[in-house]
Chain A
């Protein structure tokens, strides 16, 4: 699957979870930008699992892995999504 498709699906998830503007910089922290808070993060992880048919193990339930669009994309790529 092309990276651009994966990216569009990821952005679609973020838009579903929050009504705030998506940061233009893929490296910008989704937490510091205010896009995600502690209760939106579990929603994001669950949505990633459903959308990309992956299982995020408990050892990966670390906010740093999902701190930016770039990091999420890296995680998805590493897990074959």
Chain B
């Protein structure tokens, strides 16, 4: 791999808190049922006038502040989103415009939950050519829920938000050591959304596949670098469901507290969730050592990235 470093993360969550009680009333379920099947207690929903690019820019600004840089430093911007409105251009154009960048290349990754992981891996390979690369995962999942009748099994899960990461060839806080990415399209209909009909999720297939593929990808990248899962100080995963996070910890034989979780407060924010988790984790003065980033999402696409504190 090219030499690349993670410098800082950023996050933005809309102000409006949507509790389980509010959602349960609309779905005919109970707040306790929602928490028992997902671990989620509340999520954030953006205002109607707020778009994916707005959420992305707010996370970018937080990342700039933490990294001590300004937007013009960037050589490339990558924006992952599975909930951006259909058509073109995608939100990346809006992001660079709102950041005041003229001529800085930017592109979209129209991927849901695994989008920011794929963005990080791409960025780690592009820093020598483009310098500082900003990776953003931004989602307005409430727009998906508003686009069609609410399905209790999916409406309970999703929240809005954005996360960002600055990747550079300049030395930074975490060196990226290795990464693995995988895709398998045979289950593409088991988790899908096309704006013409409600989001489809075959929960049995999704959980069965994710509970195998997440630990498998993590073990694959760790084995390549000769690092044991027990020596990893933090696992920063896509925040899909608390029960899934616990299952991944169990499969890896690591204490569940090593798997960072904020899903109770934000729900599943799809591609944004892993970077929002990283932003919160990095604020807590984390212990030095190896760190795993991992995600699984619609497609299916999944993988893992290994970094080491410098």
* Chain A residues near B (Cβ < 8 Å): 31, 38-39, 41-42, 45, 58-59, 61-63
Which of chain A's residues have a CB closer than 8 A to the CB of B186? Answer: 59
Which of chain A's residues have a CB closer than 8 A to the CB of B184? Answer: 58
Interface size on B, residues (CB 8 A): 16
* Chain B residues near A (Cβ < 8 Å): 184, 186, 202-209, 211-213, 243-244, 247
Q: Shortest distance in angstroms between B220's beta carbon and chain A's nearest beta carbon?
A: 13
| A38 CA / B203 CA spacing, docked (Å) | 6
Q: Are A42 and B205 in contact (CB under 8 A)?
A: no
| A58 CA / B271 CA spacing, docked (Å) | 23
Which of chain B's residues have a CB closer than 8 A to the CB of A63? Answer: 202, 204-205, 208
A-B contact pairs, 6 of them (CB 8 A): A41-B204, A42-B212, A58-B209, A58-B212, A58-B213, A61-B205
| A61 CA / B244 CA spacing, docked (Å) | 16
| A33 CA / B206 CA spacing, docked (Å) | 20
Q: In the complex, what residue of chain B is closest to A42 when comparing beta carbons? A: B211
Contacts A41-B207, A58-B184, A61-B208 known; 16 new A-B pairs at CB < 8 A: A38-B207, A39-B211, A39-B243, A41-B208, A42-B207, A42-B208, A42-B212, A45-B208, A58-B212, A58-B213, A61-B205, A61-B209, A61-B212, A62-B205, A63-B204, A63-B208
Q: Shortest distance in angstroms between A33's beta carbon and chain B's nearest beta carbon?
A: 14
Which of chain A's residues have a CB closer than 8 A to the CB of B212? Answer: 42, 58, 61
Which of chain B's residues have a CB closer than 8 A to the CB of A61? Answer: 205, 208-209, 212
Which of chain A's residues have a CB closer than 8 A to the CB of B209? Answer: 58, 61
| A31 CA / B211 CA spacing, docked (Å) | 18
| A41 CA / B203 CA spacing, docked (Å) | 11
Q: Shortest distance in angstroms between A2's beta carbon and chain B's nearest beta carbon?
A: 30
| A42 CA / B243 CA spacing, docked (Å) | 12
Q: Are B247 and A42 in contact (CB under 8 A)?
A: yes
Q: Are B204 and A31 in contact (CB under 8 A)?
A: yes
Which of chain B's residues have a CB closer than 8 A to the CB of A31? Answer: 204
Q: Shortest distance in angstroms between B229's beta carbon and chain A's nearest beta carbon?
A: 17
Q: In the complex, what residue of chain B is closest to A57 when comparing beta carbons? A: B212
| A58 CA / B205 CA spacing, docked (Å) | 11
| A63 CA / B205 CA spacing, docked (Å) | 6
| A59 CA / B300 CA spacing, docked (Å) | 12
Which of chain B's residues have a CB closer than 8 A to the CB of A59? Answer: 186
Q: Shortest distance in angstroms between A71's beta carbon and chain B's nearest beta carbon?
A: 13
Q: Shortest distance in angstroms between A76's beta carbon and chain B's nearest beta carbon?
A: 17
Q: In the complex, what residue of chain A is closest to B300 when comparing beta carbons? A: A58
The 8 closest A-B pairs by CB, nearest first: A63-B204, A38-B207, A42-B211, A38-B203, A38-B204, A61-B208, A39-B243, A41-B208
Known: A58-B184, A63-B202. A39 touches B213 (CB 8 A): no
Which of chain A's residues have a CB closer than 8 A to the CB of B244? Answer: 39
Which of chain B's residues have a CB closer than 8 A to the CB of A39? Answer: 207, 211, 243-244, 247
Which of chain A's residues have a CB closer than 8 A to the CB of B207? Answer: 38-39, 41-42
Q: Shortest distance in angstroms between B214's beta carbon and chain A's nearest beta carbon?
A: 11
Q: Shortest distance in angstroms between A48's beta carbon and chain B's nearest beta carbon?
A: 12
Q: In the complex, what residue of chain B is closest to A67 when comparing beta carbons? A: B204
Which of chain B's residues have a CB closer than 8 A to the CB of A62? Answer: 205, 208
Which of chain A's residues have a CB closer than 8 A to the CB of B211? Answer: 39, 42
Give the most central of A31, A41, A59, A61: most B CB within 10 Å.
Answer: A61
